[in-house]
Chain A
């Protein structure tokens, strides 16, 4: 086999694999399960997303809103950005409640907006330490004017 042919074969295999990968990537990016769109409670109130869309909802856990189901299987609370509030229910079969989940603190949940405006979360992320705030939450809180400054945003943490 000539060098030219060999190279042609290698290039076509490479292109074929690349095309396959691109097809897989595009397919995955278009399916509803793989991507989650970040939203704040205000966003959800103003423009309710289609029910099949995965949402990553960020804000503060409203003080006094956390209730645990008697059987310990789900956790109900409300997420607020100061303007709007969204009720959330989290099924703990999806994973334990993070140790840092607390009222009045930043939180990010992922899931879908269910019937009755209740957000059904299957992922629950809390700040990982005292100084860390998910940047998207910090930004959203700033935009809504609810920034209190008591928990400095990660982007302003001192060097």
Chain B
């Protein structure tokens, strides 16, 4: 059997970026500051990488800075790094956690956050993009599809929704 031209690169799914937009009743300076140096005040504590309890995530305030979590036992786990540091208007972070929720130095997905004055407050827009890169180095994850929240989970969710 001959190989199809271009078959080597294999199929690739390009999920659309995750986009969020929210109005915050705070000036851009405050919003930017709370998003970055205050990340420990809003980051969901349940979302952590290390085995120990989360102390807080930390974003170093400069381009090239680290983005990591510090756990209560002092362990530090990388999440990614700062790509663009442009307070109070714009922040681009590299999210370097793959499908298995593990840090991968070769994986870069971008999280861009912009802060625009809107009335007395700020319009905060977030885009998490290049999600297709998450699949690049990972083994085929059939189990992800069968995991809760994956394929089976979705069908279950669907049947529940349909049954209502």
Query: Do these two chains really belong together in a complex?
Result: no
